[in-house]
Amino acid sequence: MRYAVFIISTCFALIGAPLAADKQVVLQVTGQIDGSPAQFTLCDLRAMPATMLETSTVVTDGVHTFTGVLLRDFLDQMGATGDVITATALNDYTVDIPRSDAENFDVIVGYSMNGMKLDRADKGPLWIVYPRDGHQELQDIRYDYRWVWQLSELEVK
């Protein structure tokens, strides 16, 4: 209960009175984690340590600044033990992401782009973002498929 109070008070402190949408569950995590299933709101995610990265994407023009939670830290916080993360989008698109991606690169669960909250109509509310411009090997179509926008679920296997 103390943790829930901390997250709620942190959300108020960071962004003022949260919008009702910020208190709705946007991400469910299942599988090989402590306390499966776990559910997260935007408020919960914003209360975690944030990482910013600048990179281009194959579906937008130019370089953008993304803010979100490092996937490796997020998985560690939940006691995840699996080697594969199946990411599912609101439109039921699914892709397997090797855990090694999160360990080797600063992959984030992004919730904002260029300082603006990701909107459901435009890739949000959550988007798996890779630091594409910082690593030549990430500029490969195999990785492009792992950029799951409208992320709604992660299953650790």
Query: Among the residues of the chain, which ranges form H helices?
Result: 2-15, 42-46, 71-77, 99-104, 141-144
Q: Per-residue pLDDT averaged across 15-38, rounded? A: 81
CATH number attached to the domain at 2-151: 3.90.420.10
Q: What value does the mean pLDDT take over residues 83-100?
A: 98
Amino acid at 117: K
Residues in the chain: 157
Model confidence over 51-84: pLDDT tens digits? 999 999 999 999 999 999 999 999 999 999 999 9
* Predicted pLDDT at 65: 98
DSSP 91: T
Nearest to 129 by CA among 63, 44, 35, 79: 63
Two structure tokens written together for 8 = 């709620």
Is the pLDDT reported for residue 44 higher than 50? Answer: yes
Predicted structure pTM score: 0.86
User: DSSP label at 149?
Assistant: B
Tokens 């402590």: give the residue.
34
Query: Domain extents for the chain?
Result: 2-151
The pLDDT assigned to 74 comes to 97
Q: What is the mean pLDDT of residues 16-44?
A: 86
* CB neighbourhood size of 22 (10 A): 19
